[in-house]
Structure 1
């Protein structure tokens, strides 16, 4: 089953960016992680938006620590598996997230090149 991870990304002290979460889905056919920036981790049923980021290396499924290029640090908050596997070219999908800290269905829809809409239903 493909994996997912949510990392708390704390930007470098000299950055103007606030801390945020990087939500990453393993896309095995591409050998990379489809990634979105979230402001929060959904716990209960909720609607929220996210910003798509460039694909990340698979190493981030396990990595915690400093990010290269003085871009701050990441700390793993949630990790688990999901199904069915997505393809990065999809603009709409629904998946089931399963981890010790988060179980539920996540729906996603691309609104524009720079914004996605998400709905999480906890079970």
Structure 2
């Protein structure tokens, strides 16, 4: 099995994301891995493997090379046929998007900004009627941790930052583009912004909500 193979089939969670999450968070209990895109909260088949990933985070003992993706998938199908419905469940199939889009030709980018005071991540989105990019500073890398996290609305950026990476003027450090792609703006209100992102790895609906001066970012992967 390679890092790109799926561990949780219910929510399409690959091994790579689970390893990154476990290495960063050092979960005290395997159930904490469910915070990574909901892994293990569907049919339950992957829970034993999540336990092994949590153990790997403590011991560094790699186990996945011996797993064959085809056998893993076939064993899951057997498990699902024989499971007890009252004790396990499968998530409902995702409903096709029906909400109207405000803008289907938007774009977004995620920049890793290494500044003199540390590293943060900037999410830039082109919103309808705005020449510049609406920008939020995120506490964590959303490609690794799409779970809810604090965000800070900062000054709008020029559109060139959708493609630019390199040093910044005025000794402000440098930026590296981690992700970019098309976007569909679903909602753009003062208190909430919802955008469907279509990047290489970051895909789904990004929700940015505000309570008072505080913003929260949440990624709902599709």
TM over 0.5: yes
- Residue 120 of structure 2 is matched in structure 1 by 20
Is 1:7 the counterpart of 2:111 in the alignment?
yes
Runs of 5+ consecutive residues of structure 2 not aligned to the other structure: 1-104
Greater RCO (Cα-Cα under 8 Å, separation 6 or more): 1
Q: Identify, as 1 or 2, the structure richer in helix.
A: 2
Contact 1:21 1:40 in 2 (8 A): yes
- How far the C-alpha of 1:62 sits from its partner, in A, is 0.7
Supply the distance in 2 between the matched residues of 1:85 and 1:61 (Cα, whole angstroms): 20
Question: Matched residue of 1:94: which SS?
Answer: strand
Alignment deviations for residues 68-90 of structure 1 (CA, whole Å, 9 cap, x no partner)? 11100000001011112655x62
Which has a greater percent of strand? 1
Please name the residue that 2:168 is paired with. 67
Aligned length: 117
3-state DSSP of counterpart to 2:170: coil
Question: What is the aligned-residue RMSD (CA, Å)?
Answer: 1.8
Post-superposition offset of 1:93: 2.5
CA distance in 1, matches of 2:207, 2:215: 10
The aligned runs of 1:95-110 (5 Å cut-off) are 95-110=195-210
Taking the aligned partners of 2:162 and 2:203, their CA distance within structure 1 comes to: 18
8 Å CA contact 1:27–1:85 kept in 2: the answer is no
| Runs (4+) off by over 6 Å | none
Match of 2:219 in 1: 120
